[in-house]
Each structure stands twice: as structure tokens, then as C-alpha cells.
Amino acid sequence: TQLLEQSPQFLSIQEGENLTVYCNSSSVFSSLQWYRQEPGEGPVLLVTVVTGGEVKKLKRLTFQFGDARKDSSLHITAAQPGDTGLYLCGRSGGYQKVTFGTGTKLQVIP
């Protein structure tokens, strides 16, 4: 099992602030995904990154895959209360073992 470590574990910020969360592994991934899970719901896929060094943007969210494909980051600009949730990185699908990270719980205070 490829262990995925996420940091920080918890983050509480004021509306309008910027933040970055990280996902790290000792192993190389062919691809990596980011999910957001709101309370009482299942995770929802935000993005999949495949190429080392790849950067993808989704409105105020910027996702980066490390050059060595062992780490990834998610940066949120001008956070809003609607961004509150549990952010999970993971590799899923295919015949490879499905693995999720430990998660970062984000709270954005109005």
C-alpha cells in the first residue's frame, strides 16, 4: 500500500485568506486525484493530475503535481465559506490498489 500523507491535518482560516495543503508519498504515482468531501456527503472529484510538474486550475483552486510525481499541492486563493470541507488526495481506479490520504479538514470562517 502506498501511504499518502497530507498536511496540515486541520486548517481554520478567515474568509479571503489564501492557503495551501500538501499531499506527499514516498512512491511515484502515475496519477493523483484531489477530492472535496462536505459533511454528510461522499467525496467529489475535483481534478486529476498526470504529468510531473503539471499545474491545473479550477476557478480559485490551483493544483500542482510534483516533478517527481511523488507529491502534490492544492492552493486556494481568497478562500470562501463554501470551500469548507475535507480535502483528500488519492489514487483510485484501475487494477492498482486504491489509496486515499489522511485528509485536510478546512474551515473557512465568514
Partner 1 sequence: EAGVAQSPRYKIIEKRQSVAFWCNPISGHATLYWYQQILGQGPKLLIQFQNNGVVDDSQLPKDRFSAERLKGVDSTLKIQPAKLEDSAVYLCASSFFVGQETQYFGPGTRLLVL
Chain contacts with partner 1 (rule: CB under 8 A): 4, 6, 31, 33, 40-45, 48, 88, 90, 92-95, 97-103, 105
CB of 80 vs partner 1, minimal distance in Å: 23
Provide the minimum distance between the beta carbon of 16 and partner 1 in the complex, in angstroms, as a whole number.
27
- Amino acid 107 reads Q
Q: Which residue's entry shows cell 486525484?
A: 33
Q: Compute φ and ψ for 96, nearest 5 degrees.
A: -80, 155
6 within 8 A of 103, measured Cβ to Cβ: yes
89 contacts 25 by C-beta, under 8 angstroms: no
